Amino acid sequence: MPELPEVETVRRGLTPAMEGVVIGRAEVNRPDLRWPFPPAMAARLTGQTVLRLRRRSKYILADLGSGETLLIHLGMSGRMLVSGDPLGQFVHDHPAAEKHDHVVLHMANGARITFNDPRRFGAMDLMETATADQHKLLSVLGPEPLGNDFHENHLIQAFEGKNTPVKSALLDQRIVAGLGNIYVCEALFRAKIAPTRKAGRIAKARVATLVPIIRSVLKEAIEAGGSSLRDFRQADGELGYFQHSFDVYGREAELCKTPDCGAQIARIVQSGRSSFYCKSCQS
């Protein structure tokens, strides 16, 4: 499932084609994805100006002139693809429609935004913009890791007394929103903290170091266009390439990249998810 950097990469790719632009026509080709689409979704989107595109955790939010917000979740295999030439720089024909093009937004500037999702684990919903933060999917989320509310004191307090592994704690969306398996593994490696360590038993000073490290890992991944594992594509259809910079994720039995370490990267399963780490460097 795409994590924060992948979703942010898609949002940035969509912005030039959508922000400040009218949805000339919305086309909804099935009644549902992960759950049913809201009633009359196509009619409610058609003719509306996209005032702002923003991201909350792993969700893209499009604020509309109608006072509603379109919530988009990519799921396991969902892709938001831009075709056409909204900036007038090139000549791009729209590709032929595909079987899994479930929602298509024909923008007034000539761009076409296609939500393609073969496995149909993605989702879309419409909600009132003024109360969007009360939506059932958003109301339970913790602070954004790149925002001001995510700081050392917050993480120290969130970890205090926790008997769960630090890996599980960082995946808890109530503690920090948007972090997923890949970037937690990478951040813990940089912090030299084993994923099996109990969150409440890590010294406060070490917990504090996680905040800038998490920010750094996410920013690097965003600049690299995210990590392309299986289905992820950027909004222009290109692959992200941060996976080429992984220190531990997916590198089971390969040598640790730390100079003079010599240990192999280990893989264990925690709560049904693979954790990758160096037993020598991380404690």
* 59-64 vs 101-107, strand pairing mode: unpaired
pLDDT of amino acid 86: 62
| Per-residue model confidence (pLDDT) at position 85 | 66
Helix, strand and coil content of the chain, in percent to the nearest 5, comes to: 30, 25, 50
pLDDT at 139: 97
pLDDT digit string (tens) for the chain, length 283 residues: 678 988 998 899 899 999 999 999 999 999 999 999 999 999 999 999 999 999 999 999 999 999 999 999 998 888 888 888 665 554 456 777 778 999 999 999 999 999 999 889 999 999 999 999 999 999 999 999 999 999 999 999 999 999 999 999 999 999 999 998 999 999 999 999 999 999 999 999 999 999 999 999 999 888 876 554 444 344 444 444 344 478 999 999 999 999 999 999 999 999 889 999 999 999 9
Q: What's the pTM?
A: 0.88
Q: DSSP per residue over 112-132, as a string?
A: EEEEE-TT---EEEEEEGGGG
Active site residues: 2-3, 58, 273
pLDDT score of 107: 94
**Which fold, 152-245?**
Helicase, Ruva Protein; domain 3 (1.10.8)
pLDDT at position 222 is: 87
Domain 4-134 belongs to what topology? Answer: N-terminal domain of MutM-like DNA repair proteins (3.20.190)
Alpha carbon separation from 242 to 13, 23, 186, 252, 277 (Å, rounded): 17, 33, 11, 17, 18
Domains of the chain by residue range: 4-134, 152-245
Do residues 261 and 280 touch, judged by C-beta distance below 8 A?
yes
